[in-house]
Amino acid sequence: MAAPHGSALVIDAKELRGRPGTQQHLARTVGVPAGFSTVLVGFPEGEDLELDLRIESVHEGVLLTGTVSARMSGQCGRCLGELGQPLEVDVMQLFTYPERAADASEEDEDERLIGEDLRIDLEPVLRDLMVSALPFQPICREECPGLCSQCGLRMEDDPEHFHEQIDPRWAALADLRDGLDEPED
């Protein structure tokens, strides 16, 4: 059972500061925070989020490396069916001490600042990494046949399914016929 994420995703950098080379290992399972998703797919809130992270004190700040994994679930972009599979995301993120960032000559967009309280909240970083690891066009499986372009039926449910090309003049009649119960053959 995953603990509520609360402070479980917050690192206290006080012990690491000024001691380059010091390492901590963050291996725990927390609940996925809210908002780790896109429209079609995401990591459901409260599900297990497994952290396997190394927290390393470096001169500039704190370097976070490792992996996070959780079950992704959502809707297949082809057949609109449910999909769910584990997804592991690589993490590599430098958090910079505020005073270090001040004398940095160049802005590094990938850098994140550590606040004055020396607490590092991993939630926004993990959200960015995990959400951008989600597929743009999630599919339930590589061979997913999708939906019938004509009637929207899931092709998987009836692979033999096809439509005769009907003269538009007969289409109205065919619709009428489809409305009646047809005997199974």
Tokens linked to 126: 């993990």
Say how far residue 116 (Cα) sits from the centre of its chain. Answer: 30
Question: Which is nearer to Zn ion, 25 or 141 (by Cβ)?
Answer: 141
- Rounded to whole angstroms, how far apart are CA atoms 31 and 144? 31
- Rounded to whole angstroms, how far apart are CA atoms 95 and 3? 25
**What character string, x for contact with Zn ion (CB under 5 A) and - otherwise, covers 21-40?**
--------------------
- Classify residue 47 by its DSSP letter: S
Question: Which is nearer to Zn ion, 58 or 155 (by Cβ)?
Answer: 155
| Shortest distance in whole angstroms from residue 4 CB to Zn ion | 33
- Rounded to whole angstroms, how far apart are CA atoms 29 and 87? 15
Question: Which is nearer to Zn ion, 2 or 144 (by Cβ)?
Answer: 144
| Shortest distance in whole angstroms from residue 47 CB to Zn ion | 21
**What character string, x for contact with Zn ion (CB under 5 A) and - otherwise, covers 130-159?**
----------x---x---x-xx-x------
| Shortest distance in whole angstroms from residue 161 CB to Zn ion | 5
| Shortest distance in whole angstroms from residue 74 CB to Zn ion | 11
Question: Which is nearer to Zn ion, 102 or 151 (by Cβ)?
Answer: 151
Question: Which is nearer to Zn ion, 123 or 156 (by Cβ)?
Answer: 156
**What character string, x for contact with Zn ion (CB under 5 A) and - otherwise, covers 67-86?**
---------x-xx-x-----
| Residue 175 identity | D
What does the buried/exposed string (b/e) look like for 16-30 if buried means 16 or more CB atoms within 10 Å of the residue's CB? beeeeeeeeebeebb
- Rounded to whole angstroms, how far apart are CA atoms 129 and 134? 9
- Classify residue 129 by its DSSP letter: H
Residues contributing to the site for Zn ion (CB under 5 A): 76, 78-79, 81, 140, 144, 148, 150-151, 153
